[in-house]
Structure 1
Amino acid sequence: MNIGHVLTNHARYRPNHLAFVCKDRQLTYAELNQSVNKIANALYDHGIRKGDKVSMLLPNCSELWELYWAIAKIGAVAVPLSPLLSGTGLSNQLNNADTSLVIATSGLQETVNHIMGQLTISTADVWLTDVDCPDPFISFHERKAKASSTEPADPGIQPDDLYNIIYSSGTTGAPKGIMHTHRIRADYMSLFGSYFRMTPESVVLHSGSIIFNGSFLTTMPVMFHGGTFILHSSFDVDHLVEDIRDRKVTHTILVPSQITAALQHPEFTARNAASLEMILSVGAPLHQSQKEKLNSLIPDVFYELYGLTEGFVTILDKTDFYNKPGSVGCTPQFFDMKIVDDEGRELPSGGVGEIVGRGPILMKGYYNDPERTAEAIRNGWLYTGDLGYTDEDGYLYLAGRKKDLIISGGVNVYPKDIEAVIIKHPEITDAAVFGVEDERWGETPVAALICRNGFSADKEVLRNWINDRLEARFQKVSDLLFLDEFPRNVAGKTLKRTIKEMYLKQKENIEG
């Protein structure tokens, strides 16, 4: 079971069907398979073998997309990383993954150079995808041009062999590399293709980053079915609306901020979007008013998915929109869910507790981290850390997050990573970061601070100091709250929910 072979199959049986579009690059399945084979053979010629980790520090581009399939064909392991990472956040993830090869752009050359001393690889194991590749790095395209386009040697993949590692942790703490096997990604192909009603005639558009696991919800099944996949280099609402209209897009996946932007676009009309069969909302809850506006404009295309990279989902099908307002759906076929209290006892419908689930896409575990794997998966059930409840029909409603996770623009943001940076300021004695609703991003981080006595803080200056030192853009705090002390429980734990309520009340008073 090698998921890379889906391209081999389509190249044989539907070679002339349009497979992939990215900017000016358009490839049929025959062309795409040949291009992927050249990359696979170039990797093999470099010494990459089954189980070796190839880390990709790339924005949305054809190279990144083709690497996913080339790496699969030779049995290596794909490790997509955010190009926004830098410093220890980047070196931690590269080292944690036991990286054998890094593929990046020349725009990140300085970033990579800066951390080379912290890595277990040399510049000889860094490929740059730009046409003009500076010494001493290796040119990706030069290696590809010299490689054969024939099918690479069969690495002997078994279903439970590792295919990729997705990092969902923050940038400064201990990374958590979520392991997905060829079997898991094959289930993404067949199951989500079925859930989302895809066919070989489907045209799937993706305008968000394909380094995040949510992208696999549509990228895997469209290739499995032999449809057409359109990749945008970044989200641009004009480009989105134009391609939906002109390329007759049937399926797309968007985070709430992108849906909001589309709804505000004058050309996003029922007529121009007549080909759409699905708009899948992921990453963060979409406001009910926006759901209703979308469904009024383009009826019967809205799906919503709640899920974790670790391997559990619920889906609100387009047929359930009117019946279950506010719900994030139910478990699809072959998935199970229960709501449990702090002692692990299952709660009846209506009872708020931790969401626990299991299903065929459950991760193999956290890479090289059996302890945290055992914390997350107990007796085959994934403990999500999220709070919710079900109605009598088994539909899930979110009630908050047990963990302090913030989802901003569809990206997971961990407060402890931001707090670790803030507390380095010599005049700050404590920090508590939490998320608040944001119309554009879904959520945005806010930091509550306790400063040393006598320290006179200018809010904007201090906020800039913090944001300048954070390692990823999506971590940047939008506002600060100054307190003399934090509310805490009897065990001394900071009560972030209470702090958030204080902040929202203060903001309401100021605005009122």
Structure 2
Amino acid sequence: MTTSEQTRVTTGLWNIAAAEPDRTAVVDPDGTEVGYGQLAAKADAYARGLQELGLETGDVIVVQQPNGHELLAAYFAAIQSGLYVVMVNWHLVGHEIAYIVADSGAKALLAHERFGEAARIAADEAGLPAEGRFAVGSIEGFRPVGELGTGGEGRPARRTAGSPMLYTSGTTGKPKGVRRPLTGNDPDEVPAASSWFFGIFGLKPFDDHVHLCGSPLYHTAVLNFASISIQLGHKVVLMDRWDPEEMLRLIERHRVTHSHMVPTQFRRLLALPDEVRGRYDLSSLRNMIHGAAPCPPEVKRRMLEWWGPVVTDYYAATEGGGTVISGEEWLRKPGSVGLPWPGSVVKILDDDGNELPPNQPGAVYMKMGSSTFEYHKDKAKTQKNRVGELFTLGDVGYLDEDGYLFLHDRKNDMIISGGVNIYPAEIENELVMHPKVADVAVFGVPHEDWGEEIKAVVQPAEGVSPGEELTAELLEYARARLAKFKLPKSIDYLDELPRDPNGKLYKRKLRDPYWEGRERAI
């Protein structure tokens, strides 16, 4: 089928499945290709089975599975039958998963045997009935997920659009679910917002697109990019565990056009030997999109030199709204995360909620059209993060005279030393470029006179020994690049910093021990 013919096919999983059942929708991590017809049929069976269990519109299911077409089938089962679906972080332990199962009010848990022990503990602790426990593979006390919907065929009796229910990472306490009102729309129709969102990045339906998914699908953005790609007729290639050279191999093998990445992956790609990086044909790339964590400017610049202007940055929130900047724009506005999306509003406010002028830093507030949300069972948090219709993620930044957003750091990460505001991200961006540094985190620790002083925690590069000699070398390196008041007063070392698989640093886990029994300045 030619590109022009493809554009005439109606978008949407079930529409494509009816027109082209053998068209590849998903390539599993083991290389197995799954057609649209097969994926839709499995989503139908799961939806029928969940309805047979008595699940009604607005009920919740939790999915605890690795990347694979089984996870996507469960997702689309919920999306077509009016259910909320929570994709749980499978790095959590059973007790933590039990909290999410109970807090969301889930009626079913669809788990994978790889995480069987945690799933069993979670189901038991949350009091989930036996009839709501399903497993891909074998888990004690769980029914095979393949039993769902075996008593019938075709689409489920009740079809209405469901929704993901997304839980925040919980780095500052218990995670909170972001629950949006159900639309009541026809699940065969791709939401206009999905096509619009991909349009921001120039990603059209079909158009010979191939999406590479290298991060866990429990992440909001990762799930959005994979599921929308399927809805728009893009083949989705899944990785189980990300590896830099394997990514390059898959790009060449499948002629990948777009992906969603994080800066940590960029750094590992750049660390490959030149002969490895030059071994693969990457000419198919059209838009490699990154977000989730700040990207050091030098890393971004080197990726643009290697891949060309196909590297796009964006800043967004689970709650809605965001900005975007192309590679070409970024070279004109280095360090920026871009202009607001069409329909999105971004403002910089002071502590009293007053709007600040260009180039003056303050709290970043956003909204997306008339989009609404609430934190599940947490009205106080919903209101705390809002000023009128605007909400904040706690980030600090400024808008320049052209309306481009520049981020400094999260407000909670900002260091106040001797009354001066210091942004750790600026220091991290410099130190991480030292060849003996694999990863770095900077934060404030208690100081009797200044309130806080700057602490750096470094993960040394492979083969590098931590110690006084390395500390002296890193501080000398920093002195040539940072003002004196921004220099770390001390450096500690860890074998590995606590990051989730999507690159997000759990800085609180590093910072809290230093503040035990003390009250932070902010």
TM-score (norm 1): 0.77
Q: Confirm or deny: 8 A CA contact 1:311 1:361 kept in the other structure.
A: no
* Worse-matched range after superposition: 361-370 or 187-196: 361-370
Q: Confirm or deny: 8 A CA contact 1:80 1:211 kept in the other structure.
A: yes
Q: Confirm or deny: 8 A CA contact 1:339 1:346 kept in the other structure.
A: yes
Shift of 1:390: 0.8
Q: Write the distance in 1 (CA, Å) between the matches of 2:337 and 2:179.
A: 25
Percent sequence identity is: 23
- Pick the aligned partner of 2:292 from 283, 292, 305: 283
Shift of 1:64: 1.0
Q: Write the distance in 1 (CA, Å) between the matches of 2:73 and 2:194.
A: 17
- 1:416 corresponds to: none
Q: Write the distance in 2 (CA, Å) between the matches of 1:56 and 1:113.
A: 13
Query: Per-residue CA shift, 1:144-203, capped at 9, x if unaligned?
Result: 6x254412123344xxxx612111142783331012456699355112210111131211
The one-letter code matched in structure 2 to 1:249 is V
Q: Write the distance in 1 (CA, Å) between the matches of 2:296 and 2:363.
A: 22
Q: Write the distance in 2 (CA, Å) between the matches of 1:216 and 1:316.
A: 21
Q: Confirm or deny: 8 A CA contact 2:181 2:373 kept in the other structure.
A: yes
- 1:429 corresponds to: none
Q: Write the distance in 2 (CA, Å) between the matches of 1:449 and 1:117.
A: 42
Q: Does 1:46 align with 2:46?
A: no
- 2:99 corresponds to: 92
- 2:482 corresponds to: none
Q: Confirm or deny: 8 A CA contact 2:109 2:123 kept in the other structure.
A: no
- Pick the aligned partner of 1:394 from 403, 406, 416: 403
Q: Write the distance in 2 (CA, Å) between the matches of 1:20 and 1:484.
A: 48
- 2:163 corresponds to: 163
- SS where residue 165 of structure 2 aligns? strand
Query: Per-residue CA shift, 1:93-141, capped at 9, x if unaligned?
Result: 11110111111122333223334453131333211111xx244221112
Q: Write the distance in 2 (CA, Å) between the matches of 1:296 and 1:366.
A: 41
Shift of 1:361: 8.2
- 1:192 corresponds to: 197
Q: Confirm or deny: 8 A CA contact 1:166 1:213 kept in the other structure.
A: yes
- 1:236 corresponds to: 243
Q: Write the distance in 2 (CA, Å) between the matches of 1:447 and 1:50.
A: 47
Q: Write the distance in 1 (CA, Å) between the matches of 2:67 and 2:363.
A: 35
The one-letter code matched in structure 1 to 2:178 is I
Q: Does 1:137 align with 2:142?
A: yes
Q: Write the distance in 2 (CA, Å) between the matches of 1:378 and 1:447.
A: 28
Q: Does 1:10 align with 2:36?
A: no
Shift of 1:334: 0.9
- 1:359 corresponds to: 368
C-alpha RMSD of the superposition: 3.5
- SS where residue 330 of structure 1 aligns? strand
Q: Does 1:104 align with 2:108?
A: no
Shift of 1:216: 3.7
Q: 1:19 to 1:235 in 2, by over 3 A?
A: same
Q: Write the distance in 2 (CA, Å) between the matches of 1:270 and 1:325.
A: 29
- SS where residue 321 of structure 1 aligns? helix
Shift of 1:254: 0.9
* Worse-matched range after superposition: 203-212 or 364-373: 364-373
Q: Write the distance in 1 (CA, Å) between the matches of 2:157 and 2:71.
A: 22
- Pick the aligned partner of 1:128 from 110, 125, 135: 135
- What does 1:174-185 align with in structure 2 at a 5 Å threshold? 174-180=174-180
The one-letter code matched in structure 1 to 2:36 is Y
- What does 1:321-470 align with in structure 2 at a 5 Å threshold? 321-360=330-369, 362-404=371-413, 437=428, 439=432, 444=441
Shift of 1:213: 0.8
- 1:314 corresponds to: 323
Q: Does 1:204 align with 2:230?
A: no
The one-letter code matched in structure 1 to 2:19 is Y
Shift of 1:49: 2.4
- Pick the aligned partner of 1:154 from 134, 154, 158: 158
Unaligned runs of 5+ in 2: 1-10, 415-423, 448-456, 458-465, 467-492
- SS where residue 191 of structure 1 aligns? helix
The one-letter code matched in structure 2 to 1:191 is W
Query: Per-residue CA shift, 1:42-78, capped at 9, x if unaligned?
Result: 2222332221110111222221121111111111110
Q: 1:198 to 1:51 in 2, by over 3 A?
A: same
- Pick the aligned partner of 1:71 from 50, 70, 78: 78
Query: Per-residue CA shift, 1:215-255, capped at 9, x if unaligned?
Result: 14422431232111111112122221111011100001111
Q: Confirm or deny: 8 A CA contact 1:356 1:381 kept in the other structure.
A: yes
The one-letter code matched in structure 2 to 1:306 is Y
The one-letter code matched in structure 1 to 2:284 is S
The one-letter code matched in structure 1 to 2:214 is S
The one-letter code matched in structure 2 to 1:210 is L
- SS where residue 338 of structure 2 aligns? coil
* Worse-matched range after superposition: 96-105 or 374-383: 374-383
The one-letter code matched in structure 1 to 2:146 is H
Q: 1:25 to 1:287 in 2, by over 3 A?
A: same
Q: Does 1:272 align with 2:272?
A: no
Q: Write the distance in 2 (CA, Å) between the matches of 1:129 and 1:27.
A: 17
Q: 1:147 to 1:234 in 2, by over 3 A?
A: farther
Unaligned runs of 5+ in 1: 406-433, 451-458, 487-492, 497-512
Shift of 1:90: 2.0
- 2:312 corresponds to: 303
Q: 1:117 to 1:16 in 2, by over 3 A?
A: closer
Q: Confirm or deny: 8 A CA contact 1:270 1:297 kept in the other structure.
A: no
* Worse-matched range after superposition: 381-390 or 18-27: 18-27
* Worse-matched range after superposition: 302-311 or 358-367: 358-367
Provide the aligned length of Structure 1 versus Structure 2.
439
The one-letter code matched in structure 1 to 2:163 is Y
- 2:520 corresponds to: 494
- SS where residue 252 of structure 1 aligns? strand
Q: Confirm or deny: 8 A CA contact 2:80 2:160 kept in the other structure.
A: no
Q: Write the distance in 1 (CA, Å) between the matches of 2:366 and 2:165.
A: 21
Q: 1:390 to 1:74 in 2, by over 3 A?
A: same
